[in-house]
Amino acid sequence: MFEHGDDSGNWRPTPTAPLEEATTQIYNAGPVAFDGVTPQMPVSEGTVEPWRDRILCTLVFMDIVDSTERAVQLGDSRWRQLLENYYAEVRRQLVQFRGRELDTAGDGVFAAFDSPGRAIRCACRTVQLMRTLGIDMRIGLHTGECEIMGDKICGIAVYLGARIAAAAAPGEILVSNTVKDLVVGSGIRFADRGSYALKGIPGDWRLSAVVIDESIRSSCQTR
């Protein structure tokens, strides 16, 4: 299960997927090109723009439900094999839906997308495939601006994504209202889960679960 960041709210990408590469691949479209960390725009000498180290993305946190109990039940060798199959399938789906793995911890995966719709469809497809392996997952999504600090991605948006995933029920894909609002018109349906107090985050946060019906199952099929 994902430990939800350190006290600074930082997550460090895996050595095989440096943030510079992730940022370049995910955010290189549009009028402002990225050199991997900051936008290539003229800056007057002596000025500092706080927006230069912020990017907008949809954050996805996934982990296996009751992983400790499963590990004890299976034993070390079979649990390692299950994890290898799990990570291989998750990574296949990230490639298919153009997401980027930023970090792993135990059985947790932290990824970023430039489209909330594709992030949701990736999550739905992953949940379906994991069930064929006998794995129940919980997944949380949030879209927001994140701070880029060297090789780290951090900020309140990261905290929110992690807390939303922790609030998800087994087999559930839980999203913030931000994500829900951004995919209006996509055909993706949601079930209101009410307001939540998320640990360490002020205020109440209204969350919704993705309805995994035949329509979204069909749209999630890999091609």
Q: Give the span between the Cα atoms of 47 and 19, in whole angstroms.
A: 25
**Structural domain of residue 136, as residue ranges?**
10-14+53-219
Q: Is residue 33 part of a domain?
A: no
In tens, the pLDDT along 169-221 reads 999 999 999 999 999 999 999 999 999 999 988 889 999 999 987 777 777 77
pLDDT confidence of residue 7 = 44
Q: Is residue 19 part of a domain?
A: no
The shares of helix, strand and coil residues in the chain, as percent rounded to the nearest 5, are 35, 30, 35
In tens, the pLDDT along 143-153 reads 999 988 776 78
Are 14 and 103 a contacting pair, CB within 8 Å?
Answer: yes
Instruction: Please list, in sequence order, all residues whose beta carbon lies within 8 angstroms of the beta carbon of residue 32, skipping any fewer than 6 positions away.
Output: 39, 40, 41
Q: Is residue 32 part of a domain?
A: no
Q: Is residue 20 part of a domain?
A: no
Split into its structural domains, the chain has a count of 1
Which CATH number covers residue 172? Answer: 3.30.70.1230
Q: Give the span between the Cα atoms of 201 and 178, in whole angstroms.
A: 15
Q: Which one is predicted more confidently, 71 or 223?
A: 71
Q: Is residue 108 part of a domain?
A: yes
Q: Give the span between the Cα atoms of 187 and 219, in whole angstroms.
A: 10
